[in-house]
Amino acid sequence: MENAILDIQNVSVRFANGSAVQAVEQVSLSVFPSDKLCIIGETGSGKSILLLSVLRLLPASAVVSGDVCFHGQSLFALSPKQMDGVRGGQISYVPQGSGNGMNPLLSVGFQVGEPLIAHRGMNKKRAIARAVELMRRFHLGREEELARQYPYTLSGGMRQRALIAMGISADAELLLFDEPTKGLDEARIRLVADTLNELDGQTMVCVTHDLSFARDVANRIGVMYAANLIEVADADELYAHPLHPYTRDMLAAMPENGLHFRPGYAPAHDDTRVTGCKYRMRCPNCSEKCAEMPPMADVDGHKVRCWQYV
């Protein structure tokens, strides 16, 4: 198998605020060239915290263990100045929040083009011209005029699309997207999906709770539940043949699958405190063995953390 661009190795995250809850627990995951990997899971599963840990963007209260390697180099071993060179230039991050991550004091065009100035040595005029081109890809409308305006004049959905344009502007080797469709209507979600699908050969990791969007853009899917990575497979394989009981329950609850909620099933974020398999209190196949945490089993390349397959 080809070498991974990004290797997440046994990463755990907790916050030093008196809480015993793990936000991320012993997650290992590799990202390969041209991967379009979506990490899915409900709110509170730890997927966004995992993404932030890759670029060391967590607050000082975060206690992080494990390692993250980019082309074999530990990102956790780099100095702050070295990390500044990685962020935006080599690995680009697009935050969630309907574009609230934009600076209200800088014009939209300058912000979209700023990575080209900071990491590619482009002058301001050329960078803003390129920003207008990128904004046109997302059909914001009146792009040259919008480039001169400030974020408060744009709707939340427009700001979010401008942030995505900013993320791809410097042609970073790896793109990290955190809920890129949050706050967007169905038509705009389709537009974002189409744009990401046009990024041929681009390597990206996208966290989302939108299962339909993930199916549209991903070639691989990872599933997180209660701070744990519980399943990883090719997208078509996972949607057709989910192995983990949680994944099966989650996909069965999709509208196009008939909203088949299993009796007694309900997501609960306090499952991070459960010992062993985090889903065992809700699993119809639970046994005494599930009181221990199962290892990640490999079923013909389909990885699943469940004792049924070990």
Report the alpha-carbon distance of residue 228 to residue 303 in Å, rounded.
13
Q: Is 60 exposed, middle or buried (0-12, 13-18, 19+ CB in 10 A)?
A: exposed
According to DSSP, residue 298 is labeled E
Looking at residue 164, what is its pLDDT?
Answer: 85
**Cβ–Cβ under 8 Å, residues 174 and 203:** yes
Average pLDDT value over all residues in the chain = 89
* Interstrand relation of 91-94 and 174-178 (parallel, antiparallel or unpaired): parallel
Locate 100 and state its tokens.
């609230």
**Per-residue pLDDT reduced to its tens digit, 234-265:** 999 999 999 999 999 999 887 665 545 555 55
Report the alpha-carbon distance of residue 131 to residue 144 in Å, rounded.
9
Q: Give the DSSP per-residue string, 207-263.
A: EES-HHHHHHH-SEEEEEETTEEEEEEEHHHHHHS--SHHHHHHHHTSGGGT--PPT
According to DSSP, residue 4 is labeled P
**Per-residue pLDDT reduced to its tens digit, 8-38:** 999 999 998 766 678 999 999 999 999 999 9
253 Cβ contact list (under 8 Å, min separation 6):
259, 260, 261, 265
pLDDT grade for 2, boundaries at 50, 70 and 90: low
Nearest to 36 by CA among 212, 188, 214: 214
Looking at residue 262, what is its pLDDT?
Answer: 59
Three-state DSSP class for 160?
helix
pLDDT grade for 1, boundaries at 50, 70 and 90: very low
Looking at residue 259, what is its pLDDT?
Answer: 47
Give me the helix-helix angle, 156-169 and 186-197, nearest 10°. Answer: 10
Report the alpha-carbon distance of residue 157 to residue 154 in Å, rounded.
8
**Cβ–Cβ under 8 Å, residues 45 and 51:** no
Helix (H) or strand (E) holding 14: strand 6-15
Query: What mean pLDDT comes out for the span 170-184?
Result: 89
Locate 10 and state its tokens.
């046994």
**Per-residue pLDDT reduced to its tens digit, 77-110:** 999 999 998 998 899 998 876 566 788 999 999 9
Locate 155 and state its tokens.
């709707």
Report the alpha-carbon distance of residue 153 to residue 95 in Å, rounded.
19
Single-letter code of the amino acid located at 303: K
Instruction: Tell me which of 140 and 297 has the higher pLDDT.
Output: 297
**Per-residue pLDDT reduced to its tens digit, 260-309:** 555 555 545 556 677 899 999 888 889 999 999 999 999 999 999 999 99
229: β partners: 224
Looking at residue 270, what is its pLDDT?
Answer: 59
pTM for this predicted structure = 0.89
Looking at residue 98, what is its pLDDT?
Answer: 59
Beta strands in 156-219 (DSSP E): 174-178, 203-208
Residue identified by tokens 């502007």 is 169
Query: What mean pLDDT comes out for the span 152-166?
Result: 86
